[in-house]
Structure 1
Amino acid sequence: MKIVRVQDIIGTEREVSGPGWTSRRMLLKKDGMGFSFHETIIPAGAELNLWYKHHLEAVYCVAGNGSILDKATGETHEITDGTLYALDKHDQHTLRGGTEDMRLICAFNPPVTGREVHDEDGAYLPDTGED
């Protein structure tokens, strides 16, 4: 059994930040669960162009608000507490923070190692087999 408390991750190597986001990686590939699990904070007003070409992601909003633009269809969907979106087709998207910070709970498949950074397309590189 694993017990992980987000307050124990803050300020460690499992808290990763980039322009417009902070991710607290609660479960990683090395934890052996077959997926990774994160708490991600998107500040109000942030805008992120993302495209997870090598990962599937499910995201559940537990606080705040924002929107997601599906670049394939041009549709924008509002995100509020209680909204889930799933990037089940490696969807290119723009994630926008709204009037307050969004707190998102995310699962990635395949799991991330914790060392990934977004490339020029907003993607994480494919898994190299390393933990």
Structure 2
Amino acid sequence: MIVRDFHEAKNTDRKVGAQRWNSVRLLLKDDGMGFSFHITTIEAGSEHRFHYKHHLESVYCVSGKGSITDIATGETHEIRPGVMYALDKHDEHILRCEEETVFACVFNPPVTGDEVHREDGSYAPADTAA
């Protein structure tokens, strides 16, 4: 059994971040679960373009308010507590947060914890170092 406390993990190297967001990775590839699990906080007034070409992601909004736009279709959906979205087709998207927004996120394949967003908004494939 794996038990981790978010409040402890956020003070370790499990907390990563970049411009206007941070993510506490509670489960990583090395945990052997087949997915990773993160609590991600995005700052109010920020906009992010992501494209997880090599990962599937499911996201549940815990708190905050914003929207997500599917780049392929131009469709925009409201994000608020209780809303889940799944990037089941490696969907390129723009995430906008009107308020500080907290998400619970699952990635498959799991991330290692060392990933950084590349210029195109993606993480490198799981079998490569960067």
| TM-score range normalised by the length of the shorter chain | over 0.9
- The one-letter code matched in structure 1 to 2:86 is A
Q: Does 1:28 align with 2:39?
A: no
Name the CA distance, whole Å, in 1 between partners of 2:128 and 2:115: 13
- The one-letter code matched in structure 2 to 1:114 is G
Work out the number of aligned pairs and report it.
129
Partner residue in 2 for 1:66: 66
- The one-letter code matched in structure 2 to 1:79 is I
| Percent pairwise identity | 57
Unaligned runs of 5+ in 1: none
- The one-letter code matched in structure 2 to 1:128 is D
Name the CA distance, whole Å, in 1 between partners of 2:126 and 2:31: 15
Deviation of 1:129 after TM superposition, in Å, equals 6.7
Q: TM-score, normalised by structure 1?
A: 0.96
Q: Deviations over 1:61-103 (max 9, x none)?
A: 01011110100000111100000000000000001111x2110
Name the CA distance, whole Å, in 2 between partners of 1:11 and 1:18: 16
Deviation of 1:115 after TM superposition, in Å, equals 0.2
CA RMSD of aligned residues (A): 1.0
Post-superposition, which runs of at least 4 consecutive aligned residues in structure 1 deviate over 6 A? none
Partner residue in 2 for 1:111: 110
Secondary structure of the equivalent of 1:11? coil
Name the CA distance, whole Å, in 2 between partners of 1:78 and 1:129: 34
Name the CA distance, whole Å, in 2 between partners of 1:90 and 1:21: 21
Q: Deviations over 1:7-61 (max 9, x none)?
A: 0111211000101210000000000000000000011111101000000000000
Unaligned runs of 5+ in 2: none
Q: TM-score, normalised by structure 2?
A: 0.96
